[in-house]
């Protein structure tokens, strides 16, 4: 491994790591001054000149920003701080606010460490004038860029509650980093919207935003979808196909419901994230890719880690900048704002006269719990607009839906009853003696079954499309697509 000579201040609060990394830095040809607590670090900063600082520690949040300022002001105000830690959102953002060059999570091997420090040192030499407070909020008149950021965040992320305002502020700072982002939140809270917002606010906004629902792709197709394939690599591969990871080159890759990935696929994804290289199925050479990974899950990955269902090394690679989206019940003052926005959007989309909520309807919406969060609220608005013949939506337009939902002992009663009473779908003998020489159109056969299931669900819910979609596990738009496909609308 090549060496280079620089003076590095190394901080590690774990004594074992402190000794091992000190040896590694020496092996790389770096003069290093090592410390393993806050007081020693400040003493070193005040006594010696260093080219960069590698802080590999879980410093308490209340000290993080202060130490960062000490490092930044002492290191000739250069953007040459490499910070490596596992932390929460607020701590991570305070690190970024100090001007940290890079943030990654432990463990970090010697090769990656060398590459990071080389890049940081090179950047500091190229940008000696880099301001210490470049990531701080300025009191000057907002720039055009800030105005655009404001418009994007308020357009894509509706709400005026404190939790949403804080989320907007966090997203602007997180977007400036290139670190992986991990989004958590209940189903229906808008994880893909937040992921897209991170992309739109980042330097990668001109690149593609590729969103993948990991649970929607059959396991045997995951590798070909993610990495692509070469012509002739398997039966049916009549031409080269670019994978989704390569399609995100220069942009952002969003992996929703990443907990659904099987362990074998997690290994392959880990390598792509670490090495930034992929090999299509049947390919002889690796392809370099440059993408920022954003992942999300409504499942607690830490529980899956304990159960051995999710790889720890992949978790640490993905869980660098965590973002949590609050459920709708925790942002009640946003409900009417969201509802009004949905009404405008849907009326315009459906080309019907605009409508508004009565005061009673507003109070009714504020009284609900919304286990399906923002997605559930939008579905309710769609249903109400369908039932409303005037320009004002009343409580009665929502109550029909709510009462139908409450008629069921629980949300899954339709499914449970169907399991008990269902008669097997008649599977006709496709290979009868008189048909043995005829080809079978499997696609049409399956389409007929899907159409029968849709009709059954609609009849059961008295053609309430919103409720039918919920019971079939579909979004309202997905159901509408199928109804149009089979001429059922």
CATH number at residue 118: 3.40.50.2300
What single-letter DSSP state applies at residue 348? Answer: H
Residues 184-239: pLDDT tens digits?
Answer: 999 899 999 999 999 999 999 999 999 999 988 889 899 999 999 999 888 888 89
Same-domain status, 322 and 335: no
What is the C-alpha to C-alpha distance for residues 400 and 377, in angstroms, rounded to an integer?
Answer: 15
Answer yes or no: pTM beyond 0.75. no
Same-domain status, 252 and 360: no
288's enclosing H/E stretch is: strand 287-288
The residue among 475, 472, 461, 480 whose CA lies nearest residue 379 is 475
What is the C-alpha to C-alpha distance for residues 173 and 115, in angstroms, rounded to an integer?
Answer: 24
Residue 145, domain member (yes or no): no
Return the bridge partners of 32, or none: 8
Which residues of the chain fall short of a pLDDT of 70?
A: 1-50, 55-112, 122-152, 400-441
Encoding tokens for residue 158? 């509706």
What is residue 343's predicted lDDT score, i.e. its pLDDT?
Answer: 96
Domain enclosing residue 214, as ranges = 150-326
Question: Final residue of a domain: which of 302, 326, 350?
Answer: 326
Residue in the block written with tokens 């991170």? 198
Same-domain status, 418 and 348: no
Same-domain status, 285 and 295: yes
What is residue 180's predicted lDDT score, i.e. its pLDDT?
Answer: 93
Return the bridge partners of 324, or none: 184
Residue 2, domain member (yes or no): no
What is residue 208's predicted lDDT score, i.e. its pLDDT?
Answer: 93
The residue among 254, 257, 253, 268 whose CA lies nearest residue 311 is 268
Residue 338, domain member (yes or no): yes
The number of domains in the chain is 4
Which segments of 194-250 are extended strands (E)? 209-213, 228-229, 241-242
What is residue 32's predicted lDDT score, i.e. its pLDDT?
Answer: 56
Same-domain status, 366 and 432: no
What is residue 223's predicted lDDT score, i.e. its pLDDT?
Answer: 94
Residue 134, domain member (yes or no): no
What is residue 176's predicted lDDT score, i.e. its pLDDT?
Answer: 86
Same-domain status, 156 and 287: yes
Same-domain status, 157 and 232: yes
What is the C-alpha to C-alpha distance for residues 270 and 338, in angstroms, rounded to an integer?
Answer: 38
Residue 483, domain member (yes or no): yes
What is residue 62's predicted lDDT score, i.e. its pLDDT?
Answer: 45
């Amino acid at each position: 491994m090549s060496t280079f000579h620089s003076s590095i201040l190394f901080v590690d609060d774990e004594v074992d790591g402190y000794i091992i990394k000190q040896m590694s830095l020496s092996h790389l040809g770096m003069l290093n001054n090592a410390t393993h607590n806050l007081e020693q670090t400040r003493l070193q900063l005040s006594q010696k000149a260093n080219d960069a600082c590698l802080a590999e520690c879980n410093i308490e949040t209340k000290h993080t920003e202060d130490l960062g300022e000490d490092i930044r002001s002492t290191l000739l105000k250069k953007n040459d701080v490499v910070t490596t830690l596992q932390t929460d959102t607020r701590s991570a953002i305070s690190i970024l606010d100090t001007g940290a060059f890079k943030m990654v999570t432990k463990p970090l091997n010697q090769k990656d460490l060398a590459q990071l420090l080389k890049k940081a040192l090179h950047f500091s030499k190229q940008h000696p004038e880099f301001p210490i407070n470049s990531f701080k909020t300025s009191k000057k008149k907002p720039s055009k860029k800030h105005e655009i950021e404001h418009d994007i965040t308020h357009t894509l992320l509706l709400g005026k509650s404190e939790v949403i305002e804080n989320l907007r502020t966090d997203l602007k700072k997180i977007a400036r980093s290139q670190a992986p982002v991990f989004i958590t939140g209940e189903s229906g809270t808008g994880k893909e919207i937040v992921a897209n917002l991170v992309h739109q606010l980042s330097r990668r906004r001109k690149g593609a935003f590729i969103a993948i629902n990991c649970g929607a792709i059959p396991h045997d197709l995951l590798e070909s979808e993610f990495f692509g394939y070469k012509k002739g690599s398997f039966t049916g591969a009549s031409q080269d196909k670019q994978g989704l990871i390569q399609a995100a080159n220069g942009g952002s890759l969003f992996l929703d419901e990443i907990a659904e990935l099987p362990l074998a696929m997690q290994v392959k994804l880990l390598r792509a994230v670490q090495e930034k290289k992929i090999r299509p199925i049947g390919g002889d050479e690796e392809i370099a890719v440059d993408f920022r990974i954003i992942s999300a899950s409504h499942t607690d990955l830490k529980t899956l880690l304990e159960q051995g269902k999710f790889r720890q090394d992949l978790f640490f690679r993905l869980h660098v900048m965590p973002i949590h989206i609050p459920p709708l019940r925790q942002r009640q003052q946003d409900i009417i704002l969201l509802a009004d926005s949905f009404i405008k959007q849907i009326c315009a989309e459906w080309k019907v006269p605009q409508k508004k909520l009565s005061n009673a309807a507003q109070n009714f919406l504020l009284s609900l719990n919304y286990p399906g969060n923002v997605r559930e609220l939008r579905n309710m608005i769609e249903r109400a607009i369908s039932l409303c013949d005037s320009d004002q939506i009343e409580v009665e337009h929502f109550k029909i839906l709510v009462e139908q939902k409450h008629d069921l002992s629980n949300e899954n009663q339709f499914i449970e009853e169907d399991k008990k009473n269902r008669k097997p779908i008649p599977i006709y003998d496709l290979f009868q003696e008189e048909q043995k020489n005829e080809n079978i159109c499997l696609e049409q056969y399956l389409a007929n079954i899907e159409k029968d299931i849709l009709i059954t669900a609609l009849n059961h819910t008295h053609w309430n499309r919103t409720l039918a979609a919920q019971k079939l596990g579909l979004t309202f738009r997905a159901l509408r697509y199928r109804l149009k496909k089979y001429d059922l609308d």
